Structure 1
Amino acid sequence: MRHTSATAALLATAVIGGLGIIPSAAHAQAGPSEARAAWIRSCNDKKSDTAYPCGHWQLVMRDGGKVVVKDAAAAGIDGKGKNSDMSGVFAVSGDGRVIAYERARDHRIVVRGATGGPVKVLAASLVPKKYGTGPLVLYLSPTGDRLLIDANDESDRVPGKVVTIATGKIVQLPAKDTLVGFSGDGGEVLAQRSVGDNTTALITYRADGTSVKRTPPQVVANAAITALAADGKTLAVFAAGNEETKKPPRLRIYDLETGDLSAGVDLALKPGQTPYTARWTPDGRLIAVVQSGDEGSTAVVRVLTVDTTSGGVTQADKYAVSKSRYTFTVAGE
């Protein structure tokens, strides 16, 4: 997203104040009030032998504690208002201080501070009546001042929406775009668009209403994950590792404005440790998240800082998510 770091900090202070969170000089530093992730428990239907989300969403806090979000919906709803087979939508901002989720009693999208405070109820129109919350995906900006809402139903697309939390203002994006997420400072939105002949274009939408569109090389278009930096043009491109050939995941840097693509570097990770999400911080650090632990076992999450030149990684955080989880989402995902 395109704001200077100073501007982004001012916006963060404004929205956090509006949500009832007291900002501090240490806002950008890790602290106990930050959520690392959110998860919900899995239950089993004995008749059908299928798992379903149950109980309350819980936040895994940086100090090792937990916060139970009692008003968050365990399951989403379909277009008829009935429980879907999907968990309720939930997102945690990159700084871990703001959460967005589907409220249980009316399935409205709401936003609040991770540790509590006033709940900001967003417009009812953000939930499409024709198919409810089941296919929705939420992305919070790094400081939680903006929310991106997309629907992953490719057969019946609706426009994606960007909401400014403090004002409730909604900006619609083309329905033909699949939204990827925010840039490193929340100033832009990255989107993908199929332009025919198995070709994918990338579009960056800026806060001032302008955009940049480019059709990238296939190595970029087919990347496992991508992350847009705060300058709105620098794209981190992660290629998956290959356990059969013992090739580790690789990283390239792509410039959306010029089309320049860097040489690839191997990440200092095992072939089976391809990051499943990544983001840039407002100050230009590239963060990648890897997970180990299959279904039914404890998930171990490692948050890594990536050296874009050498491919080296430094562990910034490590934590566990309960083996009884149905699903979970990490900060900035």
Structure 2
Amino acid sequence: MRHPSLPITWKPITSGLIGLALSALTISAAAVPAEARTAPPMRHSAHHSIRYASLDACPDKNVGSIPCHTWRLDLLDGGRVPLKDAMVWPLNDKGKPNKQMQAPLSVSGDGESVAYFRTSDHRLVVREFQGRVHVMPEKVLPRGVGMDDSWVRLSQDGARLVLGYTVKDGSYRARIFDVAGARETGALPAFGMFSGFSGDGSAVLVQQDTDENTTGLAVYDTGGGELARVVPPQIVAGNVPWALSSDDRTVAFVTGSGTKARLRFYDATTDRTGGSVRFSLPSDATVEMIDWTGEHEVTLHLIRSGAVDRVTILRVDTQTGRTRVRDSYKVRAGTYTYQSCGG
């Protein structure tokens, strides 16, 4: 089973939407409570928000298993719906399906929007939970780049979208889109790893490999303008994943484990590590994702016991270290790949 944590070589998923009930997503309008349409951003409640999305695994004589059937969305209230208009297999640079991997797909951190390539016309779209569909411009990938060399990532609130892809030298490029306007706002130059949007979606954090073979960090606004570039100390570079706060400068990361875990902070504009707070992690937990979900809150996705089918989602107060479990679940058996929503 594969679970994408960062959208460079990992795969995502998405949410069920009311309007899709009339087209490809088979969910009745009566099944979606009215309060789902007005739920506050950055907070999950027991309505039809996405917990995680997944694809089934089917046996294959050549590679063991391949993704198959339909993207399915497991919801916070226990429901499950298919996302039938999302491509299962990406097209390669020759326009042929690559059935050994799943097509790009991403769920917003609030579980209310999903981005994917549409089956009917291969357009990149973002569908809101309420049913509105935002269709991105045509030909979003350069000539010679297939969908199987690309990935997508939504911001926490689903208002921004990044489409990344691999170029011939093995580095990555990316385009940033304003979802509501369905327009490109900027592009990112070559980078080594995409770490995510800032908490409010105003900037992105990427890893930049340097000429000295060290790890660099760079922050860009959504127009592609560089806000910061720095070579962080090893304590930062060696402890991924990272999360960028809404101030577009403070990077959060975790060191240690168990009762010795610490949430630490680094300023990407001054190249200084800041304070830290002690908190407790389950002894069998590995931090797979980290997101800023409030001014003084970071949300961690934990994988338990080294198995990718057990997930615990933990909220950490960045001032006190107080923790709360937001969610905990086991991924359904027979899954090829899955992805939780972010923060």
TM-score (norm 1): 0.82
Percentage of matched positions with identical amino acids: 32
- Residue 342 of structure 2 is aligned to residue 328 of structure 1: no
Secondary structure in structure 1 of the residue aligned to 2:285: coil
TM-superposition CA deviations, 1:259-293 (whole Å, max 9, x none): 22146666412454121011001443100001237
Which letter maps to 2:190? A
Between the aligned partners of 2:63 and 2:107, the Cα distance in structure 1 is 31
CA contact (8 A) 1:184 1:284 kept: no
Which letter maps to 2:325? Q
TM-superposition CA deviations, 1:200-256 (whole Å, max 9, x none): 221111246451111110221222210011111111122475xxxx89654321111
Question: How has the CA–CA distance of structure 1 residues 27 and 309 changed in structure 2, closer, same or farther, with 3 Å as cutoff?
Answer: closer
Between the aligned partners of 1:118 and 1:68, the Cα distance in structure 2 is 17
Q: Which residue number in structure 2 is paired with residue 109 of structure 1?
A: 124
Between the aligned partners of 1:154 and 1:330, the Cα distance in structure 2 is 30
Which letter maps to 1:268? S
- Residue 331 of structure 2 is aligned to residue 315 of structure 1: no
Between the aligned partners of 1:175 and 1:189, the Cα distance in structure 2 is 14
- Residue 243 of structure 2 is aligned to residue 227 of structure 1: yes
Question: How has the CA–CA distance of structure 1 residues 269 and 280 changed in structure 2, closer, same or farther, with 3 Å as cutoff?
Answer: same
CA contact (8 A) 2:72 2:83 kept: yes
Between the aligned partners of 1:311 and 1:267, the Cα distance in structure 2 is 5
Question: How has the CA–CA distance of structure 1 residues 294 and 274 changed in structure 2, closer, same or farther, with 3 Å as cutoff?
Answer: closer
Between the aligned partners of 2:104 and 2:135, the Cα distance in structure 1 is 15
> Structure 2, unaligned stretches of length 5 or more?
1-16, 21-33
Question: How has the CA–CA distance of structure 1 residues 294 and 66 changed in structure 2, closer, same or farther, with 3 Å as cutoff?
Answer: farther
CA contact (8 A) 2:191 2:206 kept: no
Between the aligned partners of 1:27 and 1:112, the Cα distance in structure 2 is 16
Secondary structure in structure 2 of the residue aligned to 1:219: helix
- Residue 258 of structure 2 is aligned to residue 279 of structure 1: no
CA contact (8 A) 2:203 2:248 kept: yes
Q: Which residue number in structure 2 is paired with residue 146 of structure 1?
A: 160
Which letter maps to 2:231? T
Between the aligned partners of 1:293 and 1:329, the Cα distance in structure 2 is 18
Which letter maps to 1:121? V
Between the aligned partners of 1:136 and 1:316, the Cα distance in structure 2 is 31
> Structure 1, unaligned stretches of length 5 or more?
1-15
Between the aligned partners of 2:236 and 2:59, the Cα distance in structure 1 is 40
Q: Structure 2 residue aligned with 1:78, among 80, 92, 95?
A: 92
- Residue 46 of structure 2 is aligned to residue 34 of structure 1: no
CA drift at 1:156: 3.6
Between the aligned partners of 2:49 and 2:39, the Cα distance in structure 1 is 15
Q: 1:6-25 maps to which residues of 2 (within 5 A)?
A: 24=38
- Residue 54 of structure 2 is aligned to residue 44 of structure 1: no
TM-superposition CA deviations, 1:173-192 (whole Å, max 9, x none): 11245322100010111111
Q: Which residue number in structure 2 is paired with residue 6 of structure 1?
A: none
Secondary structure in structure 2 of the residue aligned to 1:261: strand
Which letter maps to 1:326? Y
Which letter maps to 1:149? L
TM-score (norm 2): 0.80
